[in-house]
């Protein structure tokens, strides 16, 4: 039976989003080492306030993460009542869609490819010219989605729903770096570009070569949720494990298969 027995798997997700990965790793008899390289902070930005004021005008509302849903409902009083009744909702993946259901709203669109590119592919079959589309998100995210929608003729109302940054307390990340250098951790997982980029930003320059060596030679495996997340790692010559379906469970299943083939 495939398992993570005797394996230590690092989870770099924000602490509030790490629960699913930890549960799966433990269900597979592994040990999870949570070292968040990304910290999320709910924002009360002017752009979010503006979006709240205009929810009655929206033709589409697009959510790219559960945190964006949490923030919008927190700041928009009576969102469901004030939302344009003809407004349709798109989410980037089923996890975000399920989170939306907890607030009493159902997504009209969930792409098969859980990326900005996947959402854009679906929207290509929909007439969104002159339509007003609200997107609450972090401004640290890629511009692929809003720019793509604007290229299709839509008016995009971006709102900073939360901030993404380096963790204030980096103790766990420093422990992870040492664990990689000393080959004490068996694998590191990444679920967004920022989780990878931030880790490299935190690594001290004098430790970088020692840190990269076990990642490059496969002594410490690296698994990512999808090809977008893989890019900053591949640029450094690190071999990557990528699942066919871009979910945390699929990523960990693929990693588990890799261990079983050793």
Rounded Cα gap, residues 97 and 99, in angstroms: 5
pLDDT at position 84 is 93
- For the segment 170-227, what is each residue's pLDDT rounded down to a tens digit? 999 999 999 999 999 999 999 999 999 999 999 999 999 999 999 999 999 999 999 9
pLDDT at position 186 is 97
Does residue 243 surpass a pLDDT of 60? yes
Rounded Cα gap, residues 112 and 90, in angstroms: 12
Q: What does the mean pLDDT of the chain come to? A: 94
Does residue 1 surpass a pLDDT of 70? no
**Maximum pairwise Cα distance, the chain:** 57
Q: Whole-model pTM above 0.85?
A: no
Domains and CATH numbers, the chain: 58-164 (3.40.50.10090)
């Amino acid at each position: 039976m495939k398992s993570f027995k005797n394996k230590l798997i690092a989870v770099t997700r924000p602490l509030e989003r790490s629960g699913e990965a930890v549960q799966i790793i433990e269900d597979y008899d592994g040990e999870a080492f949570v070292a968040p390289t990304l910290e999320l902070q709910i924002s009360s930005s002017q752009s979010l306030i503006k979006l709240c004021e205009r929810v009655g005008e929206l033709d589409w509302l697009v959510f790219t993460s559960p945190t964006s849903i949490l923030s919008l409902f927190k700041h928009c009083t009576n969102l469901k009542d004030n939302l344009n009744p003809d407004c349709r909702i798109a989410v980037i993946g089923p996890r975000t869609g399920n989170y939306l259901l907890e607030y009493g709203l159902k997504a009209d669109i969930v792409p098969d490819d859980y990326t900005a590119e996947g959402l854009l592919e679906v929207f290509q079959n929909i007439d969104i010219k002159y339509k007003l589309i609200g997107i609450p998100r972090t401004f640290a995210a890629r511009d692929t989605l809003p720019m793509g929608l604007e290229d299709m003729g839509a008016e995009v109302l971006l709102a900073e729903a939360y901030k993404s940054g380096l963790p204030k307390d980096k103790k766990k990340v420093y422990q992870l770096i040492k664990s990689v250098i000393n080959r004490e951790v068996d694998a590191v997982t990444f679920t967004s570009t920022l989780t990878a980029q931030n880790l490299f930003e935190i690594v001290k320059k004098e430790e970088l070569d020692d840190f990269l060596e076990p990642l490059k030679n496969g002594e410490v495996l690296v698994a990512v949720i999808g090809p977008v997340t893989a890019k900053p790692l591949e640029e450094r010559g690190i071999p990557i494990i990528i699942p066919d379906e871009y979910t945390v469970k699929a990523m960990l299943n693929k990693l588990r298969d890799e261990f079983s083939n050793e």
